[in-house]
Amino acid sequence: MKTRRNKTGTKGRGTFLRGWSKAKPGFHEKTIMMSKCGKKCFLGPNKSFPICTKNTCKVNRKGVYSAYIRAREYMTIRGTRKYKKIAEKSYKMLYK
């Protein structure tokens, strides 16, 4: 029997994302990050779906995973292709 690889490598549902709420950029920090780092820190249009740690230009895996979860959630609520694209992009980044 094959075992499926866990996206986060941890046991439990919410353990991997612990601490992302403190590491994610706030509203004004997103604006600064967009001008300093560019689009690499955001998966969505404009300043939506941030994936970098605040005050840095480094991509945080917790940010990528939370973007994936949020995009999947929005896909079911709103049902647009935009969120599917974000979910696919973040999924690929998780498995790199």
Helix, strand or coil for residue 49?
A: coil
Question: pLDDT at residue 48 above 70?
Answer: yes
Domain ranges of the chain: 20-94
Mean pLDDT of the chain: 89
- Provide the CA 55 distance to its chain's centre, in angstroms: 16
Q: For the segment 11-42, what is each residue's pLDDT rounded down to a tens digit?
A: 666 777 888 999 999 999 999 999 999 999 99
- 59 has which bridge partners? 52
pLDDT class for 4, splitting at 50, 70, 90?
low
Question: What is residue 5's predicted lDDT score, i.e. its pLDDT?
Answer: 66
Question: pLDDT at residue 56 above 80?
Answer: yes
Distance CA 61, CA 17 (A): 9
59 within 8 A of 52, measured Cβ to Cβ: yes
